[in-house]
Amino acid sequence: MDTQKNQSIKDIDDGQHVQDLFLVKEMRRAETKNGKPYLMLTVMDATGEMAGRVWEQADRFMEECAPGSVISLNGQAQSYKDILQLKINSLAAVDSTHLDLSLFLPAAAGDINAMADELTAFAESITDTHLRGLLLEFFRDDDFMKDLKKAPAAKLMHHAYIGGLLEHTLAVTRLADMVAGLYPSLDRSLLLSGAMLHDIGKIQEFSFENYPFDYSDCGRLVGHMVLGVEMLQEKTVPLASFPDDLLVRLKHMILSHHGKHEFGSPAVPMVLESFVLHFIDDMDAKINYIDRLGNQAKDEGYQWTEYQRTLERFLFVRGHSEEEPEEKPAEEPEHHPAKSLFSFADKPPAEPGPTPDAEQEPIAPHPVEMENTAENPAAKKTKPQKKKPTDSRQATLF
């Protein structure tokens, strides 16, 4: 059996013969109207995912394709109702011990260790000694950093890949630093501390030692915001002089960053820095969500996605050519006290314009972690309008 990976899901075309290695994301046994069993699979690699069907010898193959396993499959790509899927003729489990799992799992594009170092540098730049000491309690904890480097930021949606939580946290922190430089009224130390700690509870919310990622029991029962506050409280125990009022404001930053009760926040933003954190967290999540759709598009140029239930709309995204050079990573920002680039002597600063989540109905839920209406009753159920069917291959975060 060939244990080399040669084909990528994003490159598979209608009618193409497929014989390669894939990771099983989902597997379900079903029956036809005549009672004949068949298997419904979703297979994936680092470039995307695709549905597949096993019509023959379903019960025999069922033991070979448990979710999370790597399989070698032989089949044909077929378009059914204009949706591309695999007709799988045969499959076999593959020992993944010596396989490079990065070929099958999406991961953060940047250097994980470099991102961790940059986040620690931000922590060291905090001028408030209490907050700086608290942040370094986290970032000098080897076990915490090991989990932060591996954890996804969501199960299916934004940054839903290895290292996604660190990538998202760093992006939000960079944005916080930029905004703090524009508005002198902001407490940079509080804003950046909230940015660095707002999603720490996801380390406990998700089970990510094995694929597929899923919620832990405490993740489902408690949620990452409350878990994050508990982690915060635990780290402040040895910091006897940590001010109570400052701790309350930092807890508020964590508990309110989804913006609204219906989006899962136990509290709504009531402190200036908490409003900013909500906006920049939502912005980074939405950009990642949409940009990855564009990266997974098969064709170049602008094109329509399938209906995006979470955002309650179709999206017009730009596909990227494989020949396009990757953008150079941003240089590590200089850390400095907040300094306004503008003068507001004659008028107060303009209020931030509405984000998609700040608009009136219909709107998409702010926390794109609210991944489906089945697991999140608060998510609005919307009946998709009729549309021209498109390629079903999506980025693996959906």
C-alpha torsion 311→317→323→327, nearest 10:
-60
**Confidence band, pLDDT 50/70/90 cuts, at residue 49:** confident
What is the rounded average pLDDT of the residues 303-328?
76
Compute the radius of gyration of the chain from its Cα atoms: 23
pLDDT at 350 over 90: no
Predicted TM-score of the model (pTM): 0.68
Q: Where in the chain is the domain with CATH 1.10.3210?
A: 112-319
What is the rounded average pLDDT of the residues 286-293?
88
pLDDT at 388 over 90: no
Q: Where in the chain is the domain with CATH 2.40.50.140?
A: 9-103
SS3 of 304, please?
Answer: strand
Report pLDDT for 27: 95
Strand duo 83-94 + 48-54: pairing: parallel
Query: How many other β-carbons are positioned within 10 Å of the β-carbon of residue 319?
Result: 15
pLDDT at 24 over 70: yes
For 154-171, how does the pLDDT look when each residue is reduced to its tens digit (9 = 90+)? 777 778 788 899 999 999
pLDDT at 390 over 50: no
220: β partners: none
CATH class for the region spanning 9-103 = mainly beta
pLDDT at 107 over 90: no
SS3 of 323, please?
Answer: coil
Q: Give me the chain's average pLDDT, please.
A: 81
* Lowest-pLDDT choice from 56-70, 306-320, 325-339: 325-339
Residue bearing the bigger pLDDT, 191 or 288: 191
| Cα–Cα distance measured from residue 203 to residue 216, given in angstroms and rounded to the nearest whole number | 10
Residue bearing the bigger pLDDT, 275 or 336: 275
pLDDT at 392 over 90: no
CATH code at 112-319:
1.10.3210
